[in-house]
Chains A and B, each alone.
Chain A
Amino acid sequence: MHLAYPAVLSALLFCTGLYGVLARRNAILVLMSVELMLNAVNLNLVAFDVWLSRAAEETLHSGQALTLFTIAIAAAEIGIGLAIVLAVHRNRGTADIDKLRDTAEGHDPDTSDDDARTAEQAAESGRTGKAEATA
């Protein structure tokens, strides 16, 4: 098999995931796109490992071992990521990453729309509670 087939498919899948990460709004859809990017990398690793295991005299099968490690780390990452998204949703009432602008500069909260204001209220009240709890 020509090596360009899996390499090109992997590049296209990676760029699809890149588009999803940049263009999506829901945090869980962003996590899905991250999974697509990780899978593109896995396909590259497997294809090059199969190629090199024939081309080289001695091989460690490092590509397949690294693929297994990547799959396990991706599973851990999706667990932690979903826990973070659920915590944010519980505290803010939204999983929309465009509305989590606490650390943004030059953003006026009064000009934002209603949903953003709701999230802002939750954030502000949370800060109020923190200030009063530490007092």
Chain B
Amino acid sequence: MTLAQAAHGFLSPTGVEIAFLLVGLVTFGAAIITVTTKQLVHAALWLVVALGGLAVEYLLLTAEFIAWVQVLIYVGSVVVLLLFGLMLTRAPIGRSPDADSGNRWAALVVALAAAAALVWVVVDAFRTTWIDLDGPAAGSTEATGASLFQNWVLPFEALSVLLLAALVGAIVLSRKAKAESSSPPVNSRASTGSSPSVPDSRNHTIGRNGPVAGTESAKGTKSARETDSTEQEGAR
């Protein structure tokens, strides 16, 4: 280690280090914009920049297979899923003033303290450690595939079972109840009014003045109808 240490200068960065630093700055800046921007769709698009920058960092670390998996899965599918989620939850286009919650300053303090502690510990611990990037790539597809299918076959297969479970779980969670449109909402609201088993009297007023309350509670009434029919379907 001392020989290798002598070969490296602490203040004379190599070309790979300079490239890593520049791409790292872009990645970090994109991540900062992702968590601070007020436009929800722009956050997803800056996340693409951050994840793509990380893929370039993997390439600089000679882990090519991980880099392309990162591009395929994160940039290709996860961000598209997030954009679909933003569209389906009717995220506003443009600036939304309530993107950040009220405990933003507490979160900033926690994040800065964690960053200071982590950076200090990491720099202090690995001050004299260099990665040797010469020679054959440590993360080439051949090396990764050989180790994955020689030593990691059982976790790999277990991972496929987990992916199947996640697929089935996502379908079950996002499936709509079948008889949502067939059960008329009038019945459910009428039976809500005449139900003797409602524990709280405030529920009566809320359930009854739904159509009268006007624009403020229109959305609440609609989702309440949906919830009613869903619950009835579940009870059947």
Contact = CB atoms under 8 A, between A and B. Distances in A.
Most buried by A among B65, B135, B169, B227: B227
B202 A3 contact: no
A4 B228 contact: no
Contacts, number: 351
A11 B106 CA distance: 19
A36 B122 contact: no
A: interface residue count bin: 35 or more
Most buried by B among A13, A61, A67, A76: A61
B167 interface: yes
Interface in B1-34: 8, 13-14, 16-17, 20-21, 24, 27-28, 31-32, 34
Contact of B131 (A13, A54, A69, A95): A54
Interface string B184-226: 0000100110011111101100110010000011011111101
B174 A83 contact: yes
A65 B151 contact: yes
A33 B199 CA distance: 40
The dominant DSSP class at the A interface is: helix
Contact of A28 (B73, B86, B167, B202): B86
Nearest to B163: A76
Given A13-B27, A23-B101, A64-B144, A132 B91 contact: no
Contact of B227 (A9, A49, A91): A91
Given A46-B58, A85-B85, A5 B24 contact: yes
Interface of A: 1-9, 11-20, 22-29, 31-33, 35-36, 39, 42-43, 46-47, 49-51, 53-55, 59-62, 64-65, 67-69, 71-80, 82-87, 89-93, 95-96, 98, 114, 117-119, 121-122, 124-135
Interface of B: 8, 13-14, 16-17, 20-21, 24, 27-28, 31-32, 34-35, 40, 43-44, 47, 50-51, 54, 57-58, 60-63, 65-66, 69-70, 73-74, 77-78, 81-82, 84-86, 88-91, 98-104, 106-108, 110-112, 114-115, 118-119, 122-123, 126-127, 129-133, 135, 138-139, 143-144, 147-148, 151-152, 155, 159, 162-163, 166-167, 169-170, 173-174, 176, 188, 191-192, 195-200, 202-203, 206-207, 210, 216-217, 219-224, 226-228, 230-232, 234-235
